[in-house]
Structure 1
């Protein structure tokens, strides 16, 4: 069991000197867990108490099965809109809270099953399906979506609209129609400003806790309830029972689609966060083990009226700064929340709803990465375009379509690089060993009758025709080259489609008096070429171990000498 369960192993290896630090960090962590859990529950369209249930059981589940000693899971601002987009259309126009909770709980269980099955299949690499530029665009779109969605709550009224543009228009119309509650707006705006100021200038101060305490104190002092400010009210008392969610079979399709997106975002967030903190603590990141930990955390939350969870970078950072050493920090936080909801359910009854909106809005701002967008604009315009496309996908089409667009764009970007890899002609530069790209060395020399062609990618069905067309263009030079030598060191694979293309191309070039020659073939690729029997049409001697060997053979055969002029830069092409 110690080998299988990281929690058991931690107990057996626990050091006494860690105890005080873990307990203190757990107390500090709880001050963040409670208001964030309640706020993110409402962001997901669920009652605030479900955020506390979720926090309790995901912390306990990950403490037992999670491989990281420091990582903390819980309700997350990036998942809230995805959960809401999945369950609210199914909960019905009346928004029945019990049905919404059941749907969210089943969604968490589905995420758990996806994670655990993927871990058993060792599919941890799927976290790489979203590239950083598309993730930046997705999170920026998500931040804007969350911000606009919380503005009515911040100003004390509600809107009946869907989508970013619809919600923004409805918010502006509500303001113009005088629906805003002045006292609520003051609480919300002041709370947002206070959190941002404290986070900027006093980062060690628990900004969210300070704002929440002041907001609760302001309610009786200024009689905010009589001025139209909505309050959280008394939370349900008692420990949540083990509950198997019951939903219609017709709901499974949309729930499963949402679960896939949530699992992908949660895994990507967890891997990146765990990598960052592992680098600081000297621990090793194990992707498949993390998937098990996330899966069990979601399963535990789903069985006790919770909703899907992910890693929280902010809560993990707070725990680490407070001296946390192990997962006992999270367990301490879970125990304290249990004591609160069992013994003090009315502790947050005077918490204004605009204060919760302030918590969510400040969290959404932390998701945005405008400097990252500016860097992409400066460094690589194509990836900037991917970022903008992912942003527009979330902002205009919604959160779930947005994550699908982000994944699709990332995959298409990979395919684009494979379909049209960098290719160039090489030449020799005096005083510089080897053969080099003529774009970098425009005065590089070339042997008359010889073209050294480099193709920087695997040869497969998608790019076989582009390889063929480029070689044909080189062969049409006047006078035509006697040899076209492919510097094939970057070619990592040749599939059967490409092999058929090479066979036909070799016969075509030979008919025109040009030999197709390969150099620096990797051993696995060379074995494939021999297995495809390409040497049946091509000269077996035209496979050279190095470019230099091919050049020497050409010179011996033709008597060509260096100094035959400078390279023509038009004989190569490239893509971004």
Structure 2
């Protein structure tokens, strides 16, 4: 007779009490007590009821009491032996569900502890949006303040304490911002004044709409290079004013994209940029920036090109190197480096503006010595138009241009937001205040939309300037207003001072600012932490250096997504065994002492079960079923004869603690697997343990709960294993009594 099909009530008692005694001895030998612990009072009562029913049905001379005593004694012995062998600490052996003398299936959990109805659950999630702690419903002002956070903090602004810090940080950041803005404009292939334009309107808009107290937005080296690379690739024919118009259109489209993504709460999309991709991309971009600035340091007029083309052209025209520009650039870089090092040691709170000092110094030297004249012939900035930028709407009449800039706008929007939100969250966590990532998306987008109307190319957050702002006492977004005011002053009065500044000094400013972008140490660290992350880092870095920022970014994202898809379709799983003397289950490949249980396969699947990995789930389970007998033999399960074991495969127990959800494709496959195993001889049943709410809901709605059986769904893995062991033991008793 089938062991799996044998119910407790089918147990046939024998009239020979000695036979029962011998059976108990055989059970103790073949099925040691630990295979039956902890035992269920419900199962115990079922065994007793089955024994009584069988005794009455067969007319056996063995009293039902004897059979029940045999089972009860075996159960109690199992409990005693388990408790005696346990070597866990007292702290670990706390009261938990596995300690209770009752099996908790999902069915009796729902009956004993009232399960919240799905409609009630939805009501629990419904709430009125309240304004602050006063419990009042949202007003028109509170709705507006969501988009303009300045309305929240400005009415309560502390002019005595906060104003001093904001003024100091605003001035300090400004003296760093102005030279960086002029230098970064070169990276975007724009005239110097456009860097100042990027430092004006976007900052004002962000001051009104940003939720960060310290973020300083404006021109940023990485985004500046990205803009130039994307526009030149999309519109290679654009030159001069046509190129500037294309950049302004890109800025407008970038802002619109960011606003739309913010309104749709799509900040999560940026999370697909893995840390290894970002690190490899920024490091590769830093190398590209250094290479692009080498021509200014060397005083060579070579055309814009890829990394290898630039290196080739430098080597080809090495005889044209201007020693004066090299001397100016190198000496200026060394001077800025040592001033920055001194700042780190002696002027942490109010750093000396090394870039501004060096620019002014070499500007004076250049003007006094006439470095732009023979015999020096040092390239200088030249005339910089002053005044507030006039308003102009980017030209969008050419649909072909707009179409070709869609992808660059999406990439610029994503990278700009990624750079900004990483800085925002860094200082929000460090200084213990809350920010709204979606509102940051909207604020940055509006800054770029409005900025494009006033000749600003795409702006983003700057880590170095934000760090200075926080270290010099910035308290609120008011420091942005101070910065904007000083930029206006620069545009109105100080632009003539930029005319004699050598380009090699601006290149030195750019190169020195790239220190924070170089992340070779992170790549080295990834090699020891995660090899696949290292290779993604390396692929992104190499593709960025060799193919440019657009190719590098897309390649890195593709590599990251492919790895994510591989992890999704081939997630981690484990064949579990029980550690001797415990109720702990571990991967048998990691723990050689883990016991493979007779008649049972225990498998853990660590991912949501869906269309992409359902076939992998089936393949893994089939592999475990195919190697079941080898696994039993490896762990010392005795053989009866040939390939037949004394413990045939009867249960597939799935630890569902890592399965958070299930889709319809996986439901259909699971139904087929359950139905197929029931038709085997002996039949194999599924037991599901530790199912989370979404998984239970999916199983119930699909009818799989009935297919599997609610009595086969347990709240913990150990209870499921114990139930299977007890049933196998009962079936063994029935089979041997019948024999």
TM over 0.5: yes
Structure 1 residue 265, shift from structure 2 partner: 1.0
Q: Name the structure 2 match of 1:232.
A: 381
Structure 1 residue 544, shift from structure 2 partner: 2.2
Structure 1 residue 560, shift from structure 2 partner: 8.7
1:86 is paired with a residue of what secondary structure?
A: helix
- Verify: 1:184 aligned to 2:328, yes or no: no
- Is 2:235–2:404's contact at 8 Å kept on the other side of the alignment? no
Note closer, same or farther for the CA distance 1:233–1:488 as it changes in structure 2 (3 Å cut): same
Deviations 1:289-326 (A, max 9, x none): 11121012112210101100100111111122222222
Structure 1 segments, 4+ long, off by >4 Å, are: 89-94
Q: Name the structure 2 match of 1:565.
A: none
Identify unmatched segments of 5+ residues in structure 1: 562-576
The partner residue of 2:169 within 17, 20, 25 is: 25
Structure 1 residue 207, shift from structure 2 partner: 2.1
Distance 1:411 1:172 in 2: 38
Bigger Rg over Cα = 2
Q: Name the structure 1 match of 2:356.
A: 209
Structure 1 residue 161, shift from structure 2 partner: 4.6
Note closer, same or farther for the CA distance 1:223–1:280 as it changes in structure 2 (3 Å cut): same
Please show how residues 60-459 of structure 1 align to structure 2 within 5 Å: 60-89=204-233, 95-96=239-240, 98-175=241-318, 178-203=319-344, 204-226=351-373, 227-247=376-396, 248-459=398-609
The partner residue of 1:506 within 667, 674, 685 is: 674
The partner residue of 1:519 within 653, 667, 689 is: 689
Distance 1:299 1:386 in 2: 34
1:200 is paired with a residue of what secondary structure?
A: helix
Distance 1:24 1:545 in 2: 60
Note closer, same or farther for the CA distance 1:300–1:445 as it changes in structure 2 (3 Å cut): same
Deviations 1:444-498 (A, max 9, x none): 1232111111011111111111110110111112255221111111111111111
- Is 1:273–1:311's contact at 8 Å kept on the other side of the alignment? yes
Structure 1 residue 94, shift from structure 2 partner: 7.2
Structure 1 residue 418, shift from structure 2 partner: 1.6
Query: If the length of structure 2 is used for normalisation, what is the TM-score?
Result: 0.73
Structure 1 residue 255, shift from structure 2 partner: 1.6
- Is 1:35–1:209's contact at 8 Å kept on the other side of the alignment? yes
Note closer, same or farther for the CA distance 1:418–1:224 as it changes in structure 2 (3 Å cut): same
| Range moving further from structure 2, 112-121 or 544-553 | 544-553
Note closer, same or farther for the CA distance 1:198–1:344 as it changes in structure 2 (3 Å cut): closer
Structure 1 residue 92, shift from structure 2 partner: 5.2
> How many residues matched?
558
Q: Name the structure 2 match of 1:568.
A: none
Aligned-pair RMSD on alpha carbons?
Answer: 2.0
Distance 2:220 2:531 in 1: 31
| Range moving further from structure 2, 43-52 or 446-455 | 446-455
Structure 1 residue 535, shift from structure 2 partner: 4.5
1:517 is paired with a residue of what secondary structure?
A: strand
Q: Name the structure 1 match of 2:715.
A: 545
Note closer, same or farther for the CA distance 1:461–1:89 as it changes in structure 2 (3 Å cut): closer
Q: Name the structure 2 match of 1:38.
A: 182
Structure 1 residue 432, shift from structure 2 partner: 4.2
Identify unmatched segments of 5+ residues in structure 2: 1-140, 345-350, 630-644, 732-739
The partner residue of 1:58 within 182, 185, 202 is: 202
- Verify: 1:12 aligned to 2:155, yes or no: yes
Q: Name the structure 2 match of 1:567.
A: none
Distance 2:479 2:598 in 1: 72
Distance 1:127 1:87 in 2: 22
Structure 1 residue 534, shift from structure 2 partner: 2.6
